[in-house]
């Protein structure tokens, strides 16, 4: 093995706390990255992996953080180096790619200018020359045509394009070390596959070392040569990727690997014929359409003639990339919006144009659990009060509501005592449980789950899936699960509907769709699911 | 864009109509508002008052009076009831004075607001930041008539550093013009500096926590460049638009106190005097002028917002 490019030894980061003793976020991390090597630093949120990366490059800011230990880049010590020296390395030798490309790019500066700025910060280059190089870089990473795209603002690019642009920026000064902090977490699976492939190609072509920070063992299996698993600021296990997958030494590593939903294993069999509970017939929804004084303006079709049904006690997965119209269709199903065409029926009753009181039965029997458990609970309301409100809205008296809140929280695996907590005092998984408890308050017959897992840590995902499964068996609740993650879908869905460009391109039993997709788009989605084991890599990648 | 501006024009006509009707009605219902009574001078005979009333048409129905007054105002032919001078010419005479005062003050408060705000943000929590906060609060709390009088008394009258009020036209002597404007502009600006520096401070602090600022640092840019090209560029967008609105409001009457304290003889002072005399034509004309200015600047600000922030589209929903 060649000389390490990055050699981190006993790195420790401590934050001064406003009250109480300082918090140790990183406690003695040692790892190395060789040229041309991809080392994955894996762990769940809060384990200290991002702090490690920021500490290496001096981006933690002065004051709050105490950094100890050693980190040598190409023989030069980074810990305690003057800011001026670190700045010269940043961008030029050590480049970074962050999680959310939308928030990580300056919204009011053209993409090309943002890349050119970095080129000019690290070498003599005229504005025009730098812009030309920026355009060429964009071409390189597949944001084509680069000359034109470089004039775009970040919001004018798709999520995948934006992350590619971030990567182009990172590569602009030919760095020898790339630190990628959750580079695909904010992306769709198909886009994730493309971005991972891109990072892989770059490593081959430029021979740069890559420190890949992720919480997802699927991403690790796809790309990493070596793995370091991090928990509570410490590295619990480190080794070659195959070794770690085949024989994880630490139980925590085992748990993380097991949490990767496997694309293998039998899908659920479809339920025997049942009467449909929710029926959506040829639903059309257009955004931006308006009827003015001078004729009508057609809007963008978000949903285009979608037909779907969910039976009692059944789980139907609605699958597709972001922007495919699945959330819009779900909003129409819950009658949060009025469709422009088609028919919505629930338990045999037509709700397509129902208003106010007419909607009451639907509002009671159909509930939604949202993706982001942080954003969907009122931060100024205690958890119990949020759940109680859902009960009170259904006419339950104050005293009974309070008693029921305890029951509901217990039903979703929390304790009655959690009712007095504020949302910010709960973990992501606990918050999502509260969201589910709130949805259960009115004894719904159908719950729409809009990406209920994607904001959660991998080990928590399994627990929530189990909870949902238990509730279905016990109470016969039907689920309409919206997801872009086919592996999760395979675990829970009886039937699957694939959505693309506002249309439902394929519907069928989970077994049929996942084993023999008829639509090319479905096949593409399936191919994009990360490998469960590094040895499956080649089979999945083109 | 054209559609947006056209929409705003329609809106403007509606606003001006509503404002003019309200103003007209208010001055016709307040007690002691009969203009004929007051135009006739001290202890007039009933015949004199009647003659004036018939002469000026004060005996006609309100609607007719309104329409006639509006015709005169819009046609530039309105005559003050008391000075008998043409209202439009009076406003035009006062306008350069008011604009000079407002623009000077607006530049002062913007420059100092940004400078002090950024300084406060960079030193957030330290002693200098707390002092800035204290002075900002003090500036916002000082009444213009008090501050103006104090400055004028000490710096002007007592120590003779600045002229004690008054205005010199630019054409007469540019130097004297600027010299006379220093105190009034500073007085008017103090109120806004406090407010703007707080706003800039909190915007800059918010922006410094944004992911793209971390990206800018990760690119190896100098702190100076990070601050200028990334932090300020984003945090000043709302400040610039607010500045446009405040400038409009100051021109449209927000400088009345300052103009009066320093005897600038601008539009605001003219309005204040006319209101004191219940002189309907100038009040109506100045009110319409102010409303027009505010709506127009609102439109300009909305367009500027879209130019500064590419995510916003003019007239978009």
Q: How far is the CA of A485 from the CAs of A70, A451, A494, B84, B165, in angstroms?
A: 40, 9, 15, 81, 74
Residues B179, B118 share a domain: yes
Residue B315 lies in a domain: no
Query: Domain boundary residue among B41, B75, B109?
Result: B75
Q: What is the predicted pLDDT for the residue at A317?
A: 93
Residue of B nearest to A157 (CA): B311
* Prediction ipTM score: 0.78
Residues counted in chain A: 542
pLDDT tier for residue A540 given thresholds of 50, 70 and 90: very low
pLDDT tier for residue B299 given thresholds of 50, 70 and 90: confident
Residue A284 phi/psi, 5-degree rounding, is -115, 135
Question: Is CATH 3.40.50.970 correct for A6-93+174-259?
Answer: no
Smallest CA–CA distance, residue B214 to chain A, in Å, is 7
Which fold would CATH assign to domain A276-289+297-372+446-540? Answer: Rossmann fold (3.40.50)
Query: Is there a contact between A165 and A107 (Cβ–Cβ < 8 Å)?
Result: no
Q: Is residue A532 reached through a cis peptide bond, with omega within 30 degrees of 0 on the bond before it?
A: no
Task: Name the token pair of A377.
Answer: 């609970």
Q: How far is the CA of B67 from the CAs of B20, B39, B58, B75, in angstroms?
A: 10, 21, 13, 12
Query: Is there a contact between B259 and B98 (Cβ–Cβ < 8 Å)?
Result: yes
Question: Mean per-residue pLDDT for B63-87?
Answer: 87
Pairwise CA distance, residues A183 & A41, whole Å = 13
For residue A504, what are the β-bridge partners? Answer: A499
pLDDT tier for residue A541 given thresholds of 50, 70 and 90: very low
- Asked whether the beta carbons of residue A103 and residue B210 sit closer than 8 angstroms, the reply is yes
pLDDT tier for residue A2 given thresholds of 50, 70 and 90: low
Residues B257, B136 share a domain: yes
Smallest CA–CA distance, residue B25 to chain A, in Å, is 35
Pairwise CA distance, residues A171 & A180, whole Å = 12
Say if residue A296's pLDDT is above 60: no
Give the closest residue to A453 by CA, choosing from A373, A353, A541. A373
For residue A67, what are the β-bridge partners? Answer: A13
pLDDT tier for residue A70 given thresholds of 50, 70 and 90: very high
Domains held by chain B: number:
2
CB-closest option in B215, B225, B237 to A104: B215
- Asked whether the beta carbons of residue B216 and residue A106 sit closer than 8 angstroms, the reply is yes
pLDDT digits (tens, 9 = 90+) for A505-539: 999 988 888 888 899 988 888 888 887 788 877 54
Residues in chain A closer than 8 A to B210 (CB atoms): 103
Residues B140, B71 share a domain: no
Query: Is there a contact between B187 and B101 (Cβ–Cβ < 8 Å)?
Result: no
C-alpha B1: how far from chain center: 27
Pairwise CA distance, residues B207 & B230, whole Å = 9
Residue B268 lies in a domain: yes
Report chain A's terminal Cα–Cα distance, integer Å.
28
Say if residue A453's pLDDT is above 50: yes
A400 Cβ contact list (under 8 Å, min separation 6): A391
Residue B279 lies in a domain: yes
Residues B208, B178 share a domain: yes
| Sequential DSSP letters for A410-442 | HHTT--GGGGGS-GGGS-HHHHHHHHHHHHHTT
pLDDT tier for residue A291 given thresholds of 50, 70 and 90: low
CB-closest option in B220, B233, B234 to A87: B220
- Asked whether the beta carbons of residue A106 and residue B309 sit closer than 8 angstroms, the reply is no
- Asked whether the beta carbons of residue A107 and residue B233 sit closer than 8 angstroms, the reply is no
Task: Name the token pair of B246.
Answer: 């405040």
Query: Is there a contact between A283 and A339 (Cβ–Cβ < 8 Å)?
Result: yes
Query: Domain boundary residue among B52, B75, B98?
Result: B75
Q: How far is the CA of B163 from the CAs of B150, B166, B180, B261, B262, in angstroms?
A: 14, 8, 6, 13, 10
Residues B196, B57 share a domain: no
Q: What is the pTM of this model?
A: 0.79
Q: What is the predicted pLDDT for the residue at A542?
A: 36
Question: Mean per-residue pLDDT for A226-247?
Answer: 92
CB-closest option in A91, A104, A122 to B212: A104
C-alpha B145: how far from chain center: 16
Say if residue A176's pLDDT is above 70: yes
pLDDT digits (tens, 9 = 90+) for A114-128: 999 999 999 888 999
Question: Mean per-residue pLDDT for A35-59?
Answer: 90
Task: Name the token pair of A285.
Answer: 């929804």
- The DSSP 8-state label assigned to residue A283 in this structure reads E
Pairwise CA distance, residues A99 & B150, whole Å = 57
Residues B108, B26 share a domain: no
Query: Is there a contact between A299 and A290 (Cβ–Cβ < 8 Å)?
Result: yes
Place of tokens 């992306």: A187
Q: What is the predicted pLDDT for the residue at B29?
A: 79
A537 touches chain B (CB under 8 A): no
State the virtual CA torsion across B205, B211, B212, B218 in degrees, nearest 10: 110
In total, the C-beta contacts within 8 angstroms joining chain A to chain B are 77
% of chain B beyond a pLDDT of 90 = 26
Task: Name the residue with higher pLDDT: A180 or A379.
Answer: A180
Burial class (CB in 10 A: 0-12, 13-18, 19+), B159: exposed
Query: Domain boundary residue among B75, B104, B137?
Result: B75
Question: Mean per-residue pLDDT for A378-399?
Answer: 86
Residue B314 lies in a domain: no
For residue A238, what are the β-bridge partners? Answer: A228
Strands A23-33 and A209-214: unpaired
CB-closest option in B211, B217, B219 to A103: B211
Residues B101, B64 share a domain: no
Establish whether domains A6-93+174-259 and A276-289+297-372+446-540 are of one fold. Answer: yes
Question: Mean per-residue pLDDT for A313-320?
Answer: 91
Question: Mean per-residue pLDDT for B180-198?
Answer: 91
Q: What is the predicted pLDDT for the residue at A333?
A: 92
CB-closest option in A88, A91, A105 to B212: A105
Smallest CA–CA distance, residue B157 to chain A, in Å, is 50
- The DSSP 8-state label assigned to residue A358 in this structure reads G
Q: What is the predicted pLDDT for the residue at A34?
A: 94
- Asked whether the beta carbons of residue A153 and residue B310 sit closer than 8 angstroms, the reply is yes
* Domain ranges for chain A: 6-93+174-259, 105-172, 276-289+297-372+446-540
Question: Mean per-residue pLDDT for A198-225?
Answer: 90
Residues B193, B141 share a domain: yes
CB atoms within 10 A of CB B13: 11
- Asked whether the beta carbons of residue A106 and residue B211 sit closer than 8 angstroms, the reply is no
Smallest CA–CA distance, residue B192 to chain A, in Å, is 27
Place of tokens 């607001």: B113
Task: Name the token pair of B84.
Answer: 């008998």
Task: Name the token pair of A358.
Answer: 């007419």
Pairwise CA distance, residues A298 & A37, whole Å = 52
Residue B84 lies in a domain: no
B316 touches chain A (CB under 8 A): no
Range of the domain at B65: 2-75
pLDDT digits (tens, 9 = 90+) for A389-421: 888 887 888 888 888 898 889 888 888 888 888
Give the closest residue to B122 by CA, choosing from B227, B248, B274, B18. B227
- The DSSP 8-state label assigned to residue B34 in this structure reads -
Q: What is the predicted pLDDT for the residue at A512?
A: 86
Residue B80 lies in a domain: no
| Sequential DSSP letters for A521-542 | HHHHHHHHSPPSSGGGHHHH--
Q: Angle of helix A159-171 relative to helix A189-206, nearest 10 degrees?
A: 20
Task: Name the token pair of A460.
Answer: 């928590």
pLDDT tier for residue A442 given thresholds of 50, 70 and 90: confident
Question: Mean per-residue pLDDT for B171-192?
Answer: 88
The whole-chain average pLDDT of chain A stands at 86
Interior angle at CA A493, CA A491 and CA A494, nearest 5: 125
pLDDT tier for residue A135 given thresholds of 50, 70 and 90: very high
Rg (CA), chain A: 25
- Asked whether the beta carbons of residue A108 and residue B311 sit closer than 8 angstroms, the reply is yes
Burial class (CB in 10 A: 0-12, 13-18, 19+), A316: buried
Among A17-26, A358-367, B175-184, B301-310, name the one with the lowest average pLDDT. Answer: A17-26
Burial class (CB in 10 A: 0-12, 13-18, 19+), A355: exposed
Question: Mean per-residue pLDDT for A251-255?
Answer: 88
Pairwise CA distance, residues A396 & A416, whole Å = 18
C-alpha B141: how far from chain center: 18
- Asked whether the beta carbons of residue B218 and residue A91 sit closer than 8 angstroms, the reply is yes
B153 touches chain A (CB under 8 A): no
Pairwise CA distance, residues B188 & B107, whole Å = 11
Instruction: Provide the chain A residues 78-117 that lie in CB contact (below 8 A) with chain B.
Output: 87-92, 95-96, 98, 100, 103-109, 117
Pairwise CA distance, residues B181 & B165, whole Å = 9
Question: Mean per-residue pLDDT for B114-119?
Answer: 94
A74 touches chain B (CB under 8 A): no
Instruction: Provide the chain B residues 249-308 that lie in CB contact (below 8 A) with chain A.
Output: 308
Residues B117, B249 share a domain: yes
Give the closest residue to A213 by CA, choosing from A47, A53, A100, A27. A53
Q: What is the predicted pLDDT for the residue at A539?
A: 40
Smallest CA–CA distance, residue B309 to chain A, in Å, is 6
Residue B82 lies in a domain: no
Q: What is the predicted pLDDT for the residue at B212?
A: 94
Smallest CA–CA distance, residue A88 to chain B, in Å, is 6
Residues in chain A closer than 8 A to B229 (CB atoms): 109, 117
Domain containing residue B133: CATH number: 1.10.3720.10
Residue B37 lies in a domain: yes
Question: Mean per-residue pLDDT for B36-50?
Answer: 79
Burial class (CB in 10 A: 0-12, 13-18, 19+), A534: buried
């Amino acid at each position: 093995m060649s000389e390490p490019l990055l050699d981190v030894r006993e790195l420790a980061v401590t934050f001064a706390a406003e009250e109480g003793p300082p918090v140790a976020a990183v406690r003695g991390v040692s790892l190395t990255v060789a040229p041309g090597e991809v080392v994955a630093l894996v762990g769940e949120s809060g384990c200290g992996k991002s702090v490690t990366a920021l500490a290496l490059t001096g981006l933690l800011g002065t004051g709050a953080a105490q950094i100890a230990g050693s980190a040598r880049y190409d023989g030069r010590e980074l810990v305690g180096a003057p800011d001026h020296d670190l700045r010269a390395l940043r961008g030029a030798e050590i480049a970074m790619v962050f999680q959310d490309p939308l928030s990580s790019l300056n919204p009011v500066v053209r993409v090309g200018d943002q890349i050119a700025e970095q080129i000019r910060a690290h070498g003599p280059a005229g504005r025009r020359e730098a812009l030309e190089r920026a355009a060429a870089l964009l071409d390189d990473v597949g944001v084509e045509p680069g000359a034109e795209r470089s004039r775009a603002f970040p919001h004018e690019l798709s999520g995948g394009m934006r992350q590619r642009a971030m990567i182009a920026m990172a590569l602009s000064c030919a760095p020898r070390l790339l630190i990628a902090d959750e580079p695909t977490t904010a992306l769709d699976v198909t886009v994730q596959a493309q971005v991972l492939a891109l990072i892989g190609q770059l490593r081959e072509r430029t021979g740069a070392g890559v420190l890949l920070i992720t919480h997802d063992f699927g991403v690790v299996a796809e790309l990493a040569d070596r793995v370091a698993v991090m928990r509570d600021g410490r590295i619990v296990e480190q080794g070659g990727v195959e070794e770690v997958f085949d024989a994880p030494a630490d139980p925590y590593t085992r748990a993380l690997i097991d949490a990767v939903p496997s694309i293998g294993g039998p899908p659920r069999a479809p339920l025997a014929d049942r009467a449909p509970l929710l029926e959506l017939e040829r639903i059309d929804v257009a955004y931006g359409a308006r009827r003015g004084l001078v004729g009508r303006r057609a809007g963008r079709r978000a949903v285009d003639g979608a037909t779907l049904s969910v039976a009692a006690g059944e789980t139907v997965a609605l699958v597709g990339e972001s922007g495919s119209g699945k959330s819009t269709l779900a909003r129409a199903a819950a009658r949060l919006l009025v469709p422009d065409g088609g028919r919505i029926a629930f338990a045999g009753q037509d709700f397509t144009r129902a208003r106010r009181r007419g909607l009451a039965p639907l509002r009671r029997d159909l509930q939604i659990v949202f993706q982001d458990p942080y954003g969907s609970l009122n931060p100024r309301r205690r958890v119990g009060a949020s759940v109680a409100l859902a009960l009170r809205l259904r006419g339950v008296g104050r005293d009974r509501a309070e008693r029921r809140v305890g029951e509901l929280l217990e039903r979703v695996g929390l304790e009655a005592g959690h009712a007095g907590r504020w949302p910010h005092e709960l973990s992501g998984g606990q918050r999502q449980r509260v969201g589910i408890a709130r949805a259960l308050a009115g004894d719904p017959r159908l719950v729409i789950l809009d990406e209920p897992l994607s904001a959660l840590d991998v080990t928590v995902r399994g627990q929530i899936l189990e909870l949902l499964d238990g509730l279905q068996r016990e109470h016969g609740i039907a689920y309409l699960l919206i997801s872009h993650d086919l592996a999760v879908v395979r675990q829970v869905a009886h039937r699957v509907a694939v959505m693309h460009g506002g249309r439902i391109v394929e519907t069928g039993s989970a077994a049929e769709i996942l084993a023999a997709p008829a639509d090319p788009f479905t096949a593409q989605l399936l191919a994009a699911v990360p490998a469960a084991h590094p040895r499956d890599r080649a089979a999945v990648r083109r | 864009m054209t559609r947006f501006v056209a929409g705003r024009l329609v809106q403007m006509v509606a606003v001006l109509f509503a404002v003019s009707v309200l103003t007209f009605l208010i001055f016709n219902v307040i007690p002691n508002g009969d203009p004929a009574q007051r135009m006739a001078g001290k202890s007039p005979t009933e015949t004199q008052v009647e003659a004036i009333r018939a002469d000026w048409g004060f005996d006609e129905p309100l609607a007719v009076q309104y329409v006639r007054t509006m015709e005169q105002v819009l046609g530039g032919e309105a005559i003050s009831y008391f000075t008998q001078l043409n209202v439009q010419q009076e406003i035009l005479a006062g306008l350069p004075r008011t604009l000079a005062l407002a623009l000077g003050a607006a530049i002062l408060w913007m420059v100092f607001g940004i400078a002090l705000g950024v300084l406060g943000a960079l030193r957030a929590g330290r002693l200098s930041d707390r002092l800035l906060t204290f002075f900002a609060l003090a500036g916002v709390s000082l009444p213009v008539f008090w501050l103006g009088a104090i400055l004028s008394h000490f710096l002007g009258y007592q120590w003779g550093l600045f002229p004690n009020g008054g205005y010199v036209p630019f054409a007469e002597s540019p130097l004297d013009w600027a010299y006379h404007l220093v105190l009034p502009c500073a007085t008017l600006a103090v109120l806004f500096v406090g407010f703007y520096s707080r706003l800039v401070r909190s915007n800059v602090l918010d922006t410094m926590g944004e992911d793209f600022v971390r990206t800018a640092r990760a690119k190896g840019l100098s702190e100076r460049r990070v601050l200028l090209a990334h932090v300020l560029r984003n945090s000043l967008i709302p400040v610039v638009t607010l500045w446009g609105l405040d400038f409009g409001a100051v021109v449209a009457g927000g400088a009345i106190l300052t103009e009066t304290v320093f005897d600038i003889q601008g539009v605001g002072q003219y309005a204040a005097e006319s209101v004191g005399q219940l002189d309907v034509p100038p009040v109506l004309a100045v009110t319409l002028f102010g409303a027009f200015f505010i709506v127009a600047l609102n439109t300009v600000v909305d367009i500027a917002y879209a130019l500064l922030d590419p995510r916003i589209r003019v007239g978009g929903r």
